[in-house]
Structure 1
Amino acid sequence: MEILFVRHGQPEWARGDAPQMDPGLTEVGVRQAALVAERLGTRGAGEIVTSPAKRARETAAPFASRLGVEPAVVDDLLELRLPDWTNLSLMEVASKFREARAREPHAWWDGMPGGESFRAFAQRVRAGMLQMLAARGIRLVDEEHAPIFSVEKDLGRVVVFGHGGTNTVAMTVLLGMPCVPWEWERCALGHAGFLRLKAVPLGKGHIFSLRSFNDLEHLPRDLRTI
């Protein structure tokens, strides 16, 4: 079986000068989502899973509609929770991001001041991912040398619509990689980019193998955004 993580399409982070805390997709993002569905539609999926965020659900919608299925929403796959900046201007939000990025690396573990810490975020994504897999018969049984999973049955392909942070943190969990609070920079996924992991036998269990990262072949150059 394989897990195909898809980052959401380009989000509409602002309307006028008003920041959007749960944005939907821009026109470009809508086109990206349609191209995701077109590419994935040729192979289908055993199941579609999505973050509860509007941008992720809107990216999943064309593919889910094509298959005639309802995506399973996993709350813990929500992106790192930011502070509530509803009453700030775009310039003020941009200033807060610049200040946060200028911090020393150890301070990045605390997340944005007033928002979710990266430590809590990473723990949440790990728990949510492992619970989601366990509910489908894929259980973590050993972590001494590498994450080893028991796989009760081949689920085919599970497509997960998430975020730049959640998708890469989930990848580190399944591959046994150390996780850092600058995953967005270390393992950068473009909008609507694919990250594919495949379960392969190892001893009496299975490990996950990275097969592709930031696959954007379904998007023409003028629709590739970050």
Structure 2
Amino acid sequence: MQLILVRHAQPQRVQAESGHADPDLTALGVEQAGRVPAALAQHRIARVVSSPQLRARETARPTAEKLGLDIDILDGLAEYDRELPMYIPIEDAQQEFRETYERIKAGHLPEQIDGDAFIARVRDSVASIVAAADPADTVV
């Protein structure tokens, strides 16, 4: 099976009034998400999966709609920052939180994140995607 990973398009910067920040896409992000189906057109996609976060679901939506597929939401694919009250796009973090940005760029999670738990959760989710797929399937 083939698994194609698509990073979510550009999200809004948000500070939640209460609870967790779950931003929608910016206008540029909507445009980026709209280009994904054409980029994947050469593939025979059998399934579209997404994290539960709005930015990921909205990025997956144009591809799923074009293919007439539902978006399967997998909680285990949620990003490490899903419970934080603020979301700062990586483009902003590059300028405002340089040390954290450099840490992420080097392949490490921010220090306050339980990296082992996050990695295990995502690996388990990917394993479930693979286990459910036919060997000839392409999953996005």
Same-fold call, TM > 0.5?
A: yes
CA contact (8 A) 1:41 1:67 kept: no
Supply the distance in 1 between the matched residues of 2:97 and 2:2 (Cα, whole angstroms). 35
Aligned pairs for 1:1-226 (under 5 A) are: 1-14=1-14, 18=15, 21-81=21-81, 84-86=84-86, 97-98=97-98, 100=100, 111-112=111-112, 116-136=113-133, 153-159=134-140
Matched letter for residue 117 of structure 2: A
Shift of 1:131: 2.3
**TM-score normalised per structure 2:** 0.73
Residues 101/83 of structure 1: CA separation in 2 closer, same or farther (3 Å cut): farther
Relative contact order, CA 8 A, sep 6+: which one is greater?
A: 2
User: How much has 1:111 moved relative to structure 2?
Assistant: 3.2
- For the 8 Å contact 1:74–1:132, the answer to whether it is kept is no
Contact 2:76 2:121 in 1 (8 A): yes
Normalising by structure 1, we get a TM-score of 0.48
Structure 1 unaligned residues grouped into runs of 5+: 87-93, 137-152, 160-226
Amino acid in the other structure paired with 1:157: T
Identity, in percent, stands at: 37
Q: Which structure has the larger Rg?
A: 1
Assess, with a 3 A threshold, how the Cα gap between structure 1 residues 99 and 82 changes in structure 2: closer, same or farther. farther
The secondary structure found in structure 2 opposite 1:122 is helix
Q: Aligned partners of 2:98 and 2:54: how far apart in 1?
A: 25
- Which consecutive residues of structure 2, in runs of 5 or more, have no partner in the other structure? 87-92
SS at match of 2:5: strand
CA contact (8 A) 1:52 1:74 kept: yes
CA shift for structure 1 position 133: 1.8
The separation in 2 between residues aligned to 1:32 and 1:109, in whole angstroms, is 25
Q: Distance in 2 between matches of 1:38 and 1:123?
A: 32
Distance 1:117 1:69, change over 3 A: same
Distance in 2 between the 1:67 and 1:85 partners?
Answer: 34
Equivalent pairs, count: 127
| DSSP-derived class of the 1:7 partner | coil
Residue 89 of structure 2 is matched in structure 1 by none
1:83 to 1:3, Cα distance in 2 relative to 1, 3 A: closer
Q: Distance in 2 between matches of 1:62 and 1:154?
A: 25
1:34-84 Cα offsets, whole Å, 9 max, x none, are 111122235341111111111110011011111111011111111113663
User: For residues 36 and 101 of structure 2, what CA distance do their matches in structure 1 show?
Assistant: 31
Name the one with the larger strand percent: 1
Aligned-partner Cα distance in 1 for 2:52–2:80 = 12
Provide the aligned C-alpha RMSD in A.
3.0
